[in-house]
Structure 1
């Protein structure tokens, strides 16, 4: 067989993997879309809003804090949301039975993990779900193996695969009730048990390795934040940035709330009041609220005169979306593939914003994205949030000048600068 012929299967394998990872990235956006509701509920329930230091409605605050905490829980809430989201997103022609299978598999998996707590510290004994020191009559929550959202993602992937494989299977007549969709939750539950048993054995070294890497990145301080920002924007091009975000945002690090609840992940720790959280979120605010809208303005000003009004309306829309909500993909994709070098500069500047913001002591976070809504809601939780405005304005100037110069200098075909025949083709299509 010729070398050219041998290269085809390899290329097909790579494209299949790449397409699967892209689909995985899109699937992770479904559970992430729940976070604004979770963040808002959690924020309203904080002491300085409805609680003792705010309106004084303690019981009302407990209701909202409990509701938001249920969704943000790194032990059950978030892993279950990611499990269901991935199962629905990865299964072809998924329906409600896909989600049911995912829930069945996850609940079995979660229960098995909870049946095997880690050994209690010396001088204490496991009693129920607590390690109790009988000399002092005090107890602390027992520690369990917790793959967190990564475990939820694994069960979700497994559920999707099992659904695609077995949802049309027909059994013998006397077992006909369990045909197809009714069979999948049963198989998924059994597989959830198997995955839990495997996790009890393999997760400790895997979790330790991921934690060590995250601690190394965190110990780099501003440089670590910068590297994360650069990698985050680079992976956005192929739709896989959520894969990078998952561990650092939802699982890395721990913080114990006043009520004894332990939360994990940079986002959850920030929302719970951890003053050390925000390393992997703070620097996005200057970019999403100021820099990218400035880039949109530059693109509009560089459009051809007869198309400037049309493009200004388009850029105003995506720029405002970025500013208010922090959703940047419509704006970034408008120039990413037309001007990859310009996007590379954007990725580097995002890393710079992450590093500079953290180096200046700004600690801010979000439930969904780094837009105005999260900026205002979480103002009192943040450290030096006011600095985001001057930092963002400086980046806005840099982005506007740089984008306008590069677009005109190299005659980039950004929106509004396309050749007339290309515009006519698009219009006719």
Structure 2
């Protein structure tokens, strides 16, 4: 076999694997899109809004807190959302039966895990799902092996594959009622059962390893935040930043709420009132609200004079989108592939913002993204949120100066600086 022939299967394998990862990243965006609703409901249910320290509507606050908590529950709500989102996103030509199969598989898997609580510590004795200390007459909820969001994603992947494989299967005539789409939930139920049994056996060492890694990254403090920021922006280029975000934002760490419920992940912990959360979210606010809009203005100011008005309109629009909502892809993709040097600077400066913000004691978070909406809504939950504004202005100045200098100095073909013949070719096409 020639070297070219040997390389071809490898290229095909890598291309398929890479496309699969990108598809996975896009699938994770579907459940993430639910989080703004969860964050708003949860915030309205806090004591300083509808609760005792706000409007005094305690019962109304309980309703909103329960509604938001259902979606942000790191044991059931979030894993189920990610399970369904991944199943729909990964299955080719998915429909409602894909989601149904995912729900069936997940519920079986979840309830099997709940049937085996972990041993109680110290003098407490397991009674039902409670660890009871008869001496002090105190009780606490038992803990269970629960891979959380990661488990939901794996069940979703399995459901998508099973649906693609079996949704057109025909059985013998006397079992014809269970043909095709009706067969898939039955298979996913069995797979969910087997997967749960496997998790009971293999998850403890895996979970301990992930916990050790998260503690290591967290113990790095500002450096850990900076590393995450650079990695997050670097993976955005290939559409796989959600793979990194999912673990850190929804699996990392734990916090026990006053009710006794335990939540995991940087975002759910922050929204639950954990004062130590926000290490991997705080530093995005200066970038998304101030720095990237400044970069957009630098790109507009660097455009050719006869195209400047057009580019001003475009860049003002995407700058406002970034500032208000925290959606940055329109700005980043406008220069990422035509000026990789600018994107490298952007990734490094994002890491710097993450490190500086955390080092200054800023703890802030979001339900969707680091834009003005989340910044205002979560002001009462944050620590030193006002510091984000001067940090943001500093980074805005740095971004504008660096982007303007690099674009002009190296004649980068950012929007508005393309050669005239390239513009004519695009117009003709």
TM band (smaller chain): over 0.9
Question: SS state of the match for residue 365, structure 1?
Answer: coil
1:331 pairs with 2:331: yes
Distance in structure 1 (CA, Å) of the matches to 2:381 and 2:278? 11
1:398 pairs with 2:415: no
1:380 pairs with 2:399: no
Deviations 1:272-317 (A, max 9, x none): 1111111000000000000000000011111111211111111111
Partner of 2:205: 205
Deviations 1:38-75 (A, max 9, x none): 00000000000000000000000000000000000000
- Quote how far apart the aligned CAs of 1:403 are: 0.6
- Quote how far apart the aligned CAs of 1:248 are: 1.1
- Quote how far apart the aligned CAs of 1:165 are: 0.4
Partner of 1:85: 85
Partner of 2:16: 16
TM-score by length of 1: 0.99
- Quote how far apart the aligned CAs of 1:137 are: 2.3
- Quote how far apart the aligned CAs of 1:353 are: 0.2
Partner of 2:423: 423
Query: Aligned runs of 1:32-181 on 2, under 5 Å?
Result: 32-181=32-181
Distance in structure 2 (CA, Å) of the matches to 1:292 and 1:36? 22
1:288 pairs with 2:288: yes
Distance in structure 2 (CA, Å) of the matches to 1:110 and 1:238? 32
- Quote how far apart the aligned CAs of 1:351 are: 0.1
- Quote how far apart the aligned CAs of 1:425 are: 2.3
- Quote how far apart the aligned CAs of 1:172 are: 1.0
Partner of 2:317: 317
Partner of 1:347: 347
Distance in structure 1 (CA, Å) of the matches to 2:317 and 2:178? 50
Partner of 2:3: 3
Query: Aligned runs of 1:269-280 on 2, under 5 Å?
Result: 269-280=269-280
Deviates more, 1:410-419 or 1:87-96: 410-419
Q: Which runs of 5+ in 1 are unaligned?
A: none
Deviations 1:381-406 (A, max 9, x none): 11111110000000000101111111
Question: SS state of the match for residue 260, structure 2?
Answer: coil
Distance in structure 2 (CA, Å) of the matches to 1:303 and 1:179? 60
Distance in structure 2 (CA, Å) of the matches to 1:239 and 1:369? 16
Question: SS state of the match for residue 25, structure 1?
Answer: helix
- Quote how far apart the aligned CAs of 1:330 are: 1.1
Question: SS state of the match for residue 160, structure 2?
Answer: helix
TM-score by length of 2: 0.99
Question: SS state of the match for residue 296, structure 2?
Answer: helix
Distance in structure 1 (CA, Å) of the matches to 2:218 and 2:31? 25
Distance in structure 2 (CA, Å) of the matches to 1:260 and 1:131? 12
Distance in structure 2 (CA, Å) of the matches to 1:410 and 1:295? 16
1:238 pairs with 2:247: no
Distance in structure 2 (CA, Å) of the matches to 1:306 and 1:144? 65
- Quote how far apart the aligned CAs of 1:421 are: 2.1
How many aligned residue pairs are there? Answer: 429
Deviates more, 1:107-116 or 1:302-311: 302-311
Q: Which runs of 5+ in 2 are unaligned?
A: none
Question: SS state of the match for residue 186, structure 1?
Answer: helix
Deviates more, 1:416-425 or 1:275-284: 416-425
Distance in structure 1 (CA, Å) of the matches to 2:178 and 2:305? 65
CA RMSD of aligned residues (A): 0.8
Query: Aligned runs of 1:248-287 on 2, under 5 Å?
Result: 248-287=248-287
Question: SS state of the match for residue 106, structure 1?
Answer: helix
Deviates more, 1:78-87 or 1:416-425: 416-425
